[in-house]
Amino acid sequence: MRGSGQTLFDRQFDKNFPRSWRDGIAESFYTVMSVATSGKPAARKNLFGWIGRIFQGVWLVCGIAVLAYVTSSITSVMTTLSLSSQIKSVADLSNRTIGVQPGSVSEVYAKQHNMKSQKFEHIEQAVEALLNGNIGAIIGDAPVLEYYAHTNSYKPISVIGPLFEPDKYAFGLTHGSKLTRPLTIELVGTQESGDLEVMRARYFGNGQ
C-alpha cells in the first residue's frame, strides 16, 4: 500500500520518475524496502524545498521505527508446567537458579541482574535439568525456546511471561552483496503475503 501511494505521488510531481507502472512500482517498492531494512530512504531529490525536507525527515523517523519492529528479537522464559503458576515473568526468578547458554544474551542478562545461573551448552541439557528440578527456569532467545516447546509438546514445559531484553537477528552478508536487495524483497514479500505468519505458527506454535 505504501509503495502504491509512493508511485502515485512521484508520477504526479517528479518528471524524471519512470512512466511505466511496472517500473514505477518497482522503484517505489525499493524505496519502501530501503526504509524497512536500513531505516532510511534511498537517495532522491527534494521536490518541495523546506516542506519536502520536513516530510523526508518524518519518513526517516518512521523508517527507523519500522526497522526496529522488523528486526527485533526477544529473550523469554521457559519453565515447567508445575511452576508456571508461580513464575509469571522474569521478576519471579530472583530466588531461583536459572539455566543459560554460555556467551549468550541470557547469560549477560543474568549477570547484570545478579541472578543465580547455571550454564548449559545445549537446550536439551537445560531442559533435562529443569525437569529434574535442578533449575527453576531457562531464559534464552524466544524463537529457540518457542521452537523447542512446540516440537516437544509432550514434555511438561511452557514458555511464559512477557518478553524482555530486545536484541537483533539478521542474515549475515558481505558488504555490498548482490543478495541484499533480492533477499530483503523476498523477506518483506513473505511477510506481506501472510506466508511468514504461516511459517511462524508451523515452527513456533500459535502463541505470541
Average pLDDT for residues 12-39, to the nearest whole number? 53
Q: What pLDDT shows up at residue 196?
A: 82
CA 28 – CA 177 distance, rounded (Å): 21
> Which domains can be identified in the chain, with CATH numbers?
73-168 (3.40.190.10), 173-208 (no CATH)
CA 111 – CA 45 distance, rounded (Å): 49
DSSP class of residue 26 equals H
140 close to 75: Cβ distance less than 8 angstroms: yes
Q: What pLDDT shows up at residue 16?
A: 57
Q: What is the pTM of this model?
A: 0.59
- Whether residue 39 is predicted with pLDDT greater than 50 in this model: the reply is no
Could you read off the pLDDT of 48-89 as tens digits, one per residue?
454 555 555 555 545 544 444 444 445 677 676 667 778 888
User: What does the block give as the cell for 191?
Assistant: 511477510
Residue 130's pLDDT band, with cuts at 50, 70 and 90, is very high
Cα atoms found within 13 Å of the Cα of residue 110, Cβ hemisphere only: 25
Block residue for cell numbers 537517495: 43
For CA atoms 56, 179, 19, 5, the dihedral sign is: negative
- Please state whether 188 falls in left (phi above 0), alpha (psi between -120 and 50) or beta: alpha
Q: What pLDDT shows up at residue 54?
A: 55
Q: Which of 2-16, 145-159, 172-186 has the lowest mean pLDDT?
A: 2-16
- Whether residue 124 is predicted with pLDDT greater than 90 in this model: the reply is yes
